[in-house]
Amino acid sequence: MKRVLLISFLLLTSACASPQGGATQSSSQPGHGAITMMVVPNPIVAKSAGRDMYDFPFDVVVRETGGHPVHVTRVSADVYALGSILVAQQTYDAAQIASMGFATTIPANGELRYSFRPRKEVTDERLFGGVSAEVVAEGADETGTAASATTTVSVTR
């Protein structure tokens, strides 16, 4: 159950399995909207809040780089333990993202910055060294042309 709490925290990071942690991979078409994404800081540094409670402060930054507004349609995360064991998956559609109070349209050449500071219980500190998440943001520009960005985030203490 304690793992589920840490995993649910990672699922909020609205930031791919790449060999270098934090590297962003983007997919778009020339002349259309394009996005990049990063999690700051990466790795996320857990801060003790007493007993087995930890704060996990981080920002998710999504930038439009193609010169066209992009509407975010979906954010998903795959969470891995010990490097390759899939332990959880979560997907948020545009309506769910908006219901959490976040904008879903990135202006042309602009960015959206989402700040989070979840507090979670972690009873086994060994989890800090072995949890990562592949985060994918998907969207479309005003012509309906797809764009996506993927990044990897990890957690340390």
Concatenate the DSSP letters of all residues of the chain into one string: -HHHHHHHHHHT------SSTT--EEE--TTS--EEEEEESSSEE-EE-STTEEE--EEEEEEE-SSS-EEEEEEEEEEEETTTEEEEEEEEEHHHHHHTT---EEPTT-EEEEEE--EEE-S-GGGGGTEEEEEEEEEEETT--EEEEEEEEEEE-
Q: Which residue has the higher pLDDT, 77 or 64?
A: 64
pLDDT at 128: 73
pLDDT at 28: 64
Q: Count other Cβ atoms within 10 Å, centred on residue 20.
A: 7
pLDDT at 10: 42
Q: Which residue has the higher pLDDT, 31 or 48?
A: 48
pLDDT at 94: 93
Q: Which residue has the higher pLDDT, 15 or 101?
A: 101
pTM (two decimals)? 0.73
CA 97 to chain centre: 12
Residue 112, domain extent: 2-156
- Number of domains the chain contains: 1
Q: CATH number of the domain at 36, please.
A: 2.60.40.10
Query: Using one digit for the tens of pLDDT, what is the confidence trace for 109-150?
Result: 999 987 878 787 887 877 777 888 888 889 999 999 999 999
* CA proximity to 62, closest of 72, 48, 52: 72
